[in-house]
Amino acid sequence: MSLRSDIHAAIDEVAPPAPLLARQVEAFVLADENERSRFSRRGRIHWTRPLRGAVAVLAAVLVVAVMAGLVMGGRLWREWTVAPANHPHTIDVGDLERLRAKPLALSTLQPGADCPAGPTHAVANFHALGLSPVLFGDGPIYSAGNGERYVTQWGTYIETDYWVDPSFAGLVLIRARDLRTGQPVVFSNSTFSGEANVSDQLVGNDFLLDQTVQQHPEFVVDTRGLRPPQAVAYWRSWGTLQGYPAGGSGCIGFQVDGAGFSEVFVVSY
Partner 1 sequence: MQHVADSPLSTAHPWSGQAFTDLLAPLVEPGYRLACAMLHDPHAAEDAVQEASLIAWRKVGRLHDHSRLRGWFLGIVANECRNSRRRRWVTSVSHGLPAGLSVVSGEERVVRNTDLRRALSQLAHDDRLVVVLYFHLDMPLEEIAAVVGSSVGAARARLYRAVNRLRPDLAIQEALQ
CA pseudo-torsion sign 145, 146, 150, 154: positive
Rounded least distance, CB 82 to partner 1, Å: 18
Question: In this structure, what are the phi and psi dihedrals at residue 58, rounded to the nearest 5 degrees?
Answer: -60, -45
From the list 247, 258, 195, 192, the residue with the least C-alpha distance to 226 is 195
Footprint on this chain of partner 1 (rule: CB under 8 A): 2-4, 6-11, 13-16, 18, 21-22, 24-26, 28-30, 33, 36, 39-51, 117, 120, 127, 130-134, 144-153, 161, 191-192, 207-210, 229-230, 234, 237, 239, 268
d(CA 91, CA 20): 52
d(CA 132, CA 145): 10
Rounded least distance, CB 119 to partner 1, Å: 12
Rounded least distance, CB 78 to partner 1, Å: 30
From the list 156, 130, 129, 131, the residue with the least C-alpha distance to 143 is 131
Widest Cα–Cα separation across the chain: 72
77 versus 150: smaller Cβ distance to partner 1: 150
130 versus 166: smaller Cβ distance to partner 1: 130
7 versus 66: smaller Cβ distance to partner 1: 7
Rounded least distance, CB 253 to partner 1, Å: 16
List all residues 6 or more positions away from 149 whose beta carbon is below 8 Å from its beta carbon.
46, 156, 157, 158, 269
Helix or strand run (H / E) with residue 96: helix 93-101
Rounded least distance, CB 3 to partner 1, Å: 5
